[in-house]
Structure 1
Amino acid sequence: MTEPLTKRFPIPAIDSLPDDIRTRLLAVQEKSGFVPNVFLTLAWRPDEFRAFFAYHDALMDKDGGLSKAEREMIVVATSSANQCHYCVIAHGAILRIRAKNPQIADQIAVNYRKADITPRQRAMLDFAMKVSTAAETISDADFAEIAGHGFSDDEIWDIAAISAFFALSNRMANVTAMRPNDEFYMMGRLPK
Protein backbone atom coordinates (compact mmCIF):
# COMPACT_ATOMS: atom_id res chain seq x y z
CA MET A 1 0.00 0.00 0.00
CA THR A 2 1.58 3.25 -1.08
CA GLU A 3 -0.70 5.60 0.82
CA PRO A 4 -2.08 5.32 4.34
CA LEU A 5 -5.56 3.86 4.53
CA THR A 6 -6.74 7.11 6.08
CA LYS A 7 -4.87 10.36 6.34
CA ARG A 8 -6.78 12.05 9.10
CA PHE A 9 -7.35 9.79 12.10
CA PRO A 10 -5.33 7.18 13.96
CA ILE A 11 -5.65 3.52 13.05
CA PRO A 12 -5.47 1.24 16.10
CA ALA A 13 -3.41 -1.92 16.03
CA ILE A 14 -5.65 -4.98 15.74
CA ASP A 15 -4.12 -6.54 18.86
CA SER A 16 -5.03 -3.42 20.88
CA LEU A 17 -8.77 -3.63 20.08
CA PRO A 18 -11.50 -5.01 22.35
CA ASP A 19 -11.96 -8.77 21.97
CA ASP A 20 -15.25 -8.61 20.06
CA ILE A 21 -13.90 -6.15 17.49
CA ARG A 22 -10.57 -7.95 17.11
CA THR A 23 -12.45 -11.25 16.62
CA ARG A 24 -14.62 -9.69 13.91
CA LEU A 25 -11.65 -8.20 12.07
CA LEU A 26 -9.75 -11.47 12.15
CA ALA A 27 -12.82 -13.36 10.89
CA VAL A 28 -13.17 -10.92 7.98
CA GLN A 29 -9.46 -11.26 7.25
CA GLU A 30 -9.74 -15.05 7.28
CA LYS A 31 -12.69 -15.00 4.87
CA SER A 32 -11.47 -12.36 2.41
CA GLY A 33 -7.71 -12.48 2.82
CA PHE A 34 -7.48 -8.87 4.02
CA VAL A 35 -9.12 -6.45 6.46
CA PRO A 36 -11.18 -3.81 4.63
CA ASN A 37 -10.01 -0.36 5.60
CA VAL A 38 -13.47 0.66 6.81
CA PHE A 39 -13.14 -1.82 9.68
CA LEU A 40 -9.74 -0.48 10.68
CA THR A 41 -10.77 3.16 10.38
CA LEU A 42 -13.97 2.82 12.42
CA ALA A 43 -12.29 0.62 15.06
CA TRP A 44 -10.73 3.79 16.46
CA ARG A 45 -14.11 4.43 18.16
CA PRO A 46 -15.22 0.98 19.43
CA ASP A 47 -18.75 1.90 20.54
CA GLU A 48 -19.48 3.58 17.22
CA PHE A 49 -17.90 0.65 15.36
CA ARG A 50 -20.31 -1.75 17.08
CA ALA A 51 -23.35 0.45 16.38
CA PHE A 52 -22.34 1.04 12.76
CA PHE A 53 -21.81 -2.62 11.96
CA ALA A 54 -24.89 -3.76 13.87
CA TYR A 55 -27.05 -1.52 11.68
CA HIS A 56 -25.04 -2.40 8.57
CA ASP A 57 -25.58 -6.10 9.19
CA ALA A 58 -29.29 -5.63 9.96
CA LEU A 59 -29.76 -3.89 6.59
CA MET A 60 -27.37 -5.75 4.34
CA ASP A 61 -27.38 -9.35 5.62
CA LYS A 62 -31.10 -9.97 6.05
CA ASP A 63 -32.90 -12.70 4.19
CA GLY A 64 -35.97 -12.05 2.09
CA GLY A 65 -37.18 -8.97 0.28
CA LEU A 66 -34.49 -7.29 -1.77
CA SER A 67 -31.73 -9.55 -2.99
CA LYS A 68 -28.25 -9.03 -1.60
CA ALA A 69 -27.16 -7.86 -5.06
CA GLU A 70 -29.99 -5.29 -5.14
CA ARG A 71 -28.90 -4.01 -1.73
CA GLU A 72 -25.40 -3.54 -3.11
CA MET A 73 -26.81 -1.78 -6.21
CA ILE A 74 -28.33 0.81 -3.87
CA VAL A 75 -25.00 1.31 -2.12
CA VAL A 76 -23.05 1.71 -5.36
CA ALA A 77 -25.53 4.11 -6.99
CA THR A 78 -25.97 6.36 -3.95
CA SER A 79 -22.28 6.25 -3.05
CA SER A 80 -21.46 7.39 -6.57
CA ALA A 81 -23.88 10.30 -6.20
CA ASN A 82 -22.24 11.14 -2.87
CA GLN A 83 -18.77 10.91 -4.47
CA CYS A 84 -17.61 8.27 -2.02
CA HIS A 85 -14.57 6.66 -3.60
CA TYR A 86 -14.26 4.03 -0.86
CA CYS A 87 -17.86 2.75 -1.02
CA VAL A 88 -18.09 2.75 -4.81
CA ILE A 89 -14.96 0.62 -5.05
CA ALA A 90 -15.57 -1.68 -2.06
CA HIS A 91 -19.29 -2.23 -2.61
CA GLY A 92 -18.77 -2.37 -6.36
CA ALA A 93 -16.58 -5.42 -5.73
CA ILE A 94 -19.25 -7.00 -3.54
CA LEU A 95 -21.92 -6.22 -6.15
CA ARG A 96 -19.91 -7.85 -8.94
CA ILE A 97 -19.60 -10.99 -6.84
CA ARG A 98 -23.21 -11.10 -5.65
CA ALA A 99 -24.63 -10.35 -9.11
CA LYS A 100 -22.10 -12.65 -10.81
CA ASN A 101 -21.66 -9.86 -13.34
CA PRO A 102 -18.26 -8.19 -13.87
CA GLN A 103 -19.72 -5.08 -15.56
CA ILE A 104 -22.71 -4.21 -13.39
CA ALA A 105 -20.95 -2.20 -10.69
CA ASP A 106 -19.20 0.07 -13.19
CA GLN A 107 -22.43 0.60 -15.10
CA ILE A 108 -24.34 1.53 -11.94
CA ALA A 109 -21.58 3.76 -10.59
CA VAL A 110 -21.33 5.74 -13.81
CA ASN A 111 -25.04 5.96 -14.73
CA TYR A 112 -27.49 3.44 -13.34
CA ARG A 113 -30.17 4.68 -15.78
CA LYS A 114 -28.16 3.10 -18.62
CA ALA A 115 -27.08 -0.02 -16.72
CA ASP A 116 -28.17 -3.52 -17.66
CA ILE A 117 -30.81 -3.76 -14.93
CA THR A 118 -34.54 -4.42 -14.89
CA PRO A 119 -37.14 -1.63 -14.91
CA ARG A 120 -38.00 -2.68 -11.33
CA GLN A 121 -34.36 -2.24 -10.25
CA ARG A 122 -34.23 1.13 -12.03
CA ALA A 123 -37.29 2.25 -10.05
CA MET A 124 -35.60 1.01 -6.87
CA LEU A 125 -32.51 3.08 -7.66
CA ASP A 126 -34.58 6.13 -8.63
CA PHE A 127 -36.19 6.01 -5.18
CA ALA A 128 -32.86 5.34 -3.45
CA MET A 129 -31.25 8.29 -5.22
CA LYS A 130 -34.06 10.59 -4.20
CA VAL A 131 -33.70 9.47 -0.58
CA SER A 132 -29.95 10.02 -0.80
CA THR A 133 -29.90 13.39 -2.54
CA ALA A 134 -33.30 15.03 -2.01
CA ALA A 135 -35.14 13.23 0.81
CA GLU A 136 -37.01 16.40 1.70
CA THR A 137 -38.88 16.12 -1.62
CA ILE A 138 -40.16 12.55 -1.12
CA SER A 139 -43.91 12.54 -1.65
CA ASP A 140 -46.83 10.16 -1.77
CA ALA A 141 -46.34 10.06 -5.55
CA ASP A 142 -42.86 8.58 -5.02
CA PHE A 143 -44.35 5.87 -2.82
CA ALA A 144 -47.05 5.15 -5.38
CA GLU A 145 -44.45 4.93 -8.15
CA ILE A 146 -42.22 2.45 -6.34
CA ALA A 147 -45.13 0.39 -5.02
CA GLY A 148 -46.33 0.19 -8.63
CA HIS A 149 -43.20 -1.84 -9.37
CA GLY A 150 -44.20 -4.45 -6.81
CA PHE A 151 -42.13 -3.33 -3.83
CA SER A 152 -43.63 -4.09 -0.43
CA ASP A 153 -43.63 -1.62 2.47
CA ASP A 154 -40.73 -3.55 4.04
CA GLU A 155 -38.72 -3.38 0.82
CA ILE A 156 -39.41 0.35 0.44
CA TRP A 157 -38.23 0.86 4.03
CA ASP A 158 -35.07 -1.14 3.24
CA ILE A 159 -34.35 0.94 0.14
CA ALA A 160 -34.69 4.14 2.17
CA ALA A 161 -32.73 2.82 5.15
CA ILE A 162 -29.85 1.55 3.03
CA SER A 163 -29.71 4.89 1.20
CA ALA A 164 -29.75 6.84 4.45
CA PHE A 165 -27.26 4.59 6.23
CA PHE A 166 -24.77 4.77 3.39
CA ALA A 167 -25.14 8.55 3.22
CA LEU A 168 -23.65 8.50 6.73
CA SER A 169 -21.02 5.97 5.69
CA ASN A 170 -20.13 7.99 2.57
CA ARG A 171 -19.66 11.13 4.58
CA MET A 172 -17.44 9.45 7.17
CA ALA A 173 -15.36 7.80 4.45
CA ASN A 174 -14.88 11.19 2.80
CA VAL A 175 -14.10 12.98 6.08
CA THR A 176 -11.51 10.37 7.03
CA ALA A 177 -10.08 10.25 3.47
CA MET A 178 -10.50 6.47 3.65
CA ARG A 179 -8.68 4.67 0.86
CA PRO A 180 -10.15 1.52 -0.73
CA ASN A 181 -8.02 -1.57 -0.28
CA ASP A 182 -6.18 -2.46 -3.48
CA GLU A 183 -7.74 -5.95 -3.35
CA PHE A 184 -11.21 -4.55 -4.08
CA TYR A 185 -10.35 -3.34 -7.57
CA MET A 186 -10.08 -6.78 -9.18
CA MET A 187 -12.63 -8.71 -7.11
CA GLY A 188 -15.41 -10.20 -9.21
CA ARG A 189 -13.96 -9.00 -12.50
CA LEU A 190 -12.39 -12.21 -13.72
CA PRO A 191 -13.66 -15.80 -13.52
CA LYS A 192 -11.92 -17.91 -10.88
Structure 2
Amino acid sequence: MTKSGTAFLALLLALSFDALIGSAEAGQEFMRTGGRTTQPVGHYEFCQSEPEECRQITPKQPPVLLTRELWAEMVDINNEVNTTVTPKTDMEIWGKEEVWSYPVGGVGDCEDYVLEKRRQLMKHGVPAGNLLITVVRQRNGDGHAVLTVRTSNGDYILDNLEPRILGWADTDYTYLKQQSMRNSGAWVSIEDDRNIAVGSVK
Protein backbone atom coordinates (compact mmCIF):
# COMPACT_ATOMS: atom_id res chain seq x y z
CA MET A 1 0.00 0.00 0.00
CA THR A 2 1.25 3.52 -0.83
CA LYS A 3 1.93 6.10 1.85
CA SER A 4 -1.16 8.04 0.81
CA GLY A 5 -3.24 4.84 0.96
CA THR A 6 -1.92 4.02 4.41
CA ALA A 7 -2.66 7.54 5.63
CA PHE A 8 -6.20 7.37 4.21
CA LEU A 9 -6.81 4.01 5.92
CA ALA A 10 -5.51 5.42 9.20
CA LEU A 11 -7.89 8.38 8.86
CA LEU A 12 -10.85 6.06 8.17
CA LEU A 13 -9.98 3.95 11.21
CA ALA A 14 -9.71 7.05 13.37
CA LEU A 15 -13.05 8.41 12.17
CA SER A 16 -14.83 5.07 12.63
CA PHE A 17 -13.37 4.69 16.12
CA ASP A 18 -14.41 8.22 17.11
CA ALA A 19 -17.93 7.49 15.86
CA LEU A 20 -18.03 4.34 17.99
CA ILE A 21 -16.93 6.16 21.11
CA GLY A 22 -19.41 8.95 20.40
CA SER A 23 -22.26 6.47 20.11
CA ALA A 24 -21.18 4.77 23.34
CA GLU A 25 -22.63 7.59 25.43
CA ALA A 26 -26.06 5.97 25.14
CA GLY A 27 -24.54 2.62 26.08
CA GLN A 28 -23.94 -0.25 23.66
CA GLU A 29 -25.94 -3.29 24.67
CA PHE A 30 -24.31 -6.57 25.56
CA MET A 31 -25.90 -9.88 24.68
CA ARG A 32 -27.90 -11.45 27.48
CA THR A 33 -26.77 -15.01 28.08
CA GLY A 34 -28.58 -17.83 29.82
CA GLY A 35 -27.45 -21.11 31.32
CA ARG A 36 -25.24 -23.89 30.03
CA THR A 37 -26.30 -25.42 26.75
CA THR A 38 -25.08 -28.08 24.33
CA GLN A 39 -21.69 -27.72 22.71
CA PRO A 40 -21.84 -27.84 18.89
CA VAL A 41 -20.66 -31.20 17.59
CA GLY A 42 -18.09 -29.52 15.37
CA HIS A 43 -16.60 -27.67 18.32
CA TYR A 44 -16.54 -30.82 20.43
CA GLU A 45 -14.56 -32.62 17.72
CA PHE A 46 -12.29 -29.59 17.31
CA CYS A 47 -11.56 -29.80 21.04
CA GLN A 48 -10.43 -33.41 20.61
CA SER A 49 -7.83 -32.40 18.02
CA GLU A 50 -6.90 -29.03 19.61
CA PRO A 51 -7.49 -29.61 23.35
CA GLU A 52 -5.56 -26.52 24.46
CA GLU A 53 -8.09 -24.35 22.61
CA CYS A 54 -10.87 -25.64 24.85
CA ARG A 55 -9.12 -25.40 28.22
CA GLN A 56 -8.81 -21.61 28.36
CA ILE A 57 -10.05 -20.37 31.72
CA THR A 58 -10.63 -16.60 32.00
CA PRO A 59 -11.09 -15.11 35.47
CA LYS A 60 -14.11 -12.89 36.06
CA GLN A 61 -13.17 -9.43 34.86
CA PRO A 62 -14.61 -6.49 32.87
CA PRO A 63 -14.66 -6.77 29.06
CA VAL A 64 -11.46 -5.77 27.27
CA LEU A 65 -10.97 -2.00 26.96
CA LEU A 66 -11.79 -0.83 23.43
CA THR A 67 -8.88 1.42 22.50
CA ARG A 68 -8.04 2.96 19.14
CA GLU A 69 -5.24 0.39 18.81
CA LEU A 70 -7.52 -2.58 19.52
CA TRP A 71 -10.13 -1.31 17.07
CA ALA A 72 -7.44 -1.03 14.36
CA GLU A 73 -6.29 -4.59 15.09
CA MET A 74 -9.87 -5.88 14.89
CA VAL A 75 -10.40 -4.15 11.54
CA ASP A 76 -7.07 -5.35 10.14
CA ILE A 77 -7.53 -8.97 11.22
CA ASN A 78 -11.14 -9.09 10.06
CA ASN A 79 -10.18 -7.74 6.63
CA GLU A 80 -7.10 -9.93 6.29
CA VAL A 81 -8.86 -13.20 7.10
CA ASN A 82 -11.92 -12.32 5.03
CA THR A 83 -9.82 -11.51 1.97
CA THR A 84 -7.20 -14.27 2.18
CA VAL A 85 -9.47 -17.23 2.95
CA THR A 86 -11.66 -18.55 0.13
CA PRO A 87 -15.10 -19.79 1.28
CA LYS A 88 -15.80 -23.47 0.73
CA THR A 89 -18.12 -25.88 2.50
CA ASP A 90 -16.88 -28.65 4.75
CA MET A 91 -18.22 -31.14 2.23
CA GLU A 92 -16.06 -29.57 -0.48
CA ILE A 93 -12.99 -29.44 1.77
CA TRP A 94 -13.28 -32.60 3.85
CA GLY A 95 -16.05 -34.64 2.26
CA LYS A 96 -17.92 -34.40 5.58
CA GLU A 97 -20.92 -32.37 6.70
CA GLU A 98 -19.37 -30.55 9.67
CA VAL A 99 -15.67 -30.03 10.46
CA TRP A 100 -14.32 -27.14 12.54
CA SER A 101 -10.68 -26.29 11.88
CA TYR A 102 -8.33 -23.44 11.17
CA PRO A 103 -8.29 -22.57 7.44
CA VAL A 104 -6.34 -25.19 5.49
CA GLY A 105 -4.73 -24.33 2.17
CA GLY A 106 -6.37 -20.91 2.11
CA VAL A 107 -9.95 -22.23 2.22
CA GLY A 108 -12.54 -22.61 4.97
CA ASP A 109 -16.15 -22.21 6.03
CA CYS A 110 -17.63 -19.79 8.55
CA GLU A 111 -16.32 -21.55 11.67
CA ASP A 112 -12.82 -21.65 10.19
CA TYR A 113 -12.84 -17.88 9.64
CA VAL A 114 -13.95 -17.43 13.26
CA LEU A 115 -11.26 -19.69 14.67
CA GLU A 116 -8.51 -17.92 12.72
CA LYS A 117 -9.68 -14.43 13.76
CA ARG A 118 -9.91 -15.59 17.37
CA ARG A 119 -6.40 -17.06 17.24
CA GLN A 120 -4.92 -13.88 15.78
CA LEU A 121 -6.62 -11.57 18.28
CA MET A 122 -5.42 -13.75 21.15
CA LYS A 123 -1.87 -13.32 19.80
CA HIS A 124 -2.45 -9.57 20.16
CA GLY A 125 -3.25 -10.03 23.84
CA VAL A 126 -7.06 -10.13 23.86
CA PRO A 127 -8.18 -12.61 26.57
CA ALA A 128 -9.96 -15.76 25.42
CA GLY A 129 -13.00 -14.81 27.51
CA ASN A 130 -13.56 -11.76 25.31
CA LEU A 131 -13.36 -13.72 22.02
CA LEU A 132 -16.41 -15.94 21.80
CA ILE A 133 -17.41 -18.24 18.95
CA THR A 134 -21.11 -17.54 18.47
CA VAL A 135 -23.76 -19.55 16.62
CA VAL A 136 -26.50 -17.54 14.91
CA ARG A 137 -29.41 -18.04 12.56
CA GLN A 138 -29.59 -16.08 9.31
CA ARG A 139 -32.82 -14.60 8.01
CA ASN A 140 -33.15 -17.48 5.52
CA GLY A 141 -32.98 -19.97 8.41
CA ASP A 142 -29.43 -21.19 7.74
CA GLY A 143 -27.01 -21.63 10.62
CA HIS A 144 -23.88 -19.50 10.71
CA ALA A 145 -20.94 -18.76 13.04
CA VAL A 146 -19.41 -15.38 13.88
CA LEU A 147 -16.86 -14.10 16.37
CA THR A 148 -18.13 -11.92 19.22
CA VAL A 149 -15.56 -9.53 20.69
CA ARG A 150 -16.66 -8.34 24.13
CA THR A 151 -15.35 -4.83 24.73
CA SER A 152 -15.93 -2.00 27.16
CA ASN A 153 -18.10 -0.44 24.43
CA GLY A 154 -20.27 -3.53 23.92
CA ASP A 155 -20.29 -6.73 21.86
CA TYR A 156 -18.97 -6.47 18.30
CA ILE A 157 -19.27 -9.04 15.52
CA LEU A 158 -16.53 -10.17 13.13
CA ASP A 159 -18.19 -11.94 10.23
CA ASN A 160 -16.98 -13.41 6.94
CA LEU A 161 -20.29 -12.42 5.28
CA GLU A 162 -20.02 -8.74 6.27
CA PRO A 163 -16.91 -6.58 5.74
CA ARG A 164 -17.89 -4.10 8.46
CA ILE A 165 -17.54 -4.75 12.17
CA LEU A 166 -21.00 -4.17 13.64
CA GLY A 167 -22.49 -4.06 17.09
CA TRP A 168 -24.33 -7.32 17.68
CA ALA A 169 -27.74 -5.60 17.78
CA ASP A 170 -27.03 -3.95 14.41
CA THR A 171 -26.95 -7.28 12.58
CA ASP A 172 -30.00 -9.14 11.28
CA TYR A 173 -29.06 -12.45 12.87
CA THR A 174 -30.85 -14.28 15.65
CA TYR A 175 -28.27 -15.24 18.29
CA LEU A 176 -28.54 -18.78 19.67
CA LYS A 177 -25.48 -19.79 21.71
CA GLN A 178 -21.85 -18.93 22.33
CA GLN A 179 -18.77 -19.99 24.24
CA SER A 180 -18.74 -19.27 27.94
CA MET A 181 -16.77 -16.17 28.96
CA ARG A 182 -15.09 -18.20 31.70
CA ASN A 183 -14.42 -21.55 30.00
CA SER A 184 -13.71 -21.87 26.28
CA GLY A 185 -14.88 -25.49 26.26
CA ALA A 186 -18.33 -24.68 27.66
CA TRP A 187 -21.30 -23.07 25.89
CA VAL A 188 -24.19 -20.92 27.08
CA SER A 189 -27.51 -19.95 25.50
CA ILE A 190 -28.24 -16.41 24.29
CA GLU A 191 -31.53 -14.72 25.15
CA ASP A 192 -32.24 -12.89 21.89
CA ASP A 193 -35.89 -11.84 21.76
CA ARG A 194 -35.67 -9.55 18.71
CA ASN A 195 -37.34 -12.18 16.43
CA ILE A 196 -35.44 -11.10 13.33
CA ALA A 197 -34.76 -14.37 11.54
CA VAL A 198 -37.00 -17.27 10.63
CA GLY A 199 -36.45 -20.97 10.19
CA SER A 200 -34.32 -23.32 12.22
CA VAL A 201 -30.70 -24.28 12.59
CA LYS A 202 -29.51 -27.85 12.13
TM-score, normalization by structure 1? 0.30
Which structure ranks higher in relative contact order (CA pairs < 8 Å, sequence separation ≥ 6)?
1
Pick the structure with more strand per residue.
2
More helix by share: 1
Q: TM-score, normalised by structure 2?
A: 0.29
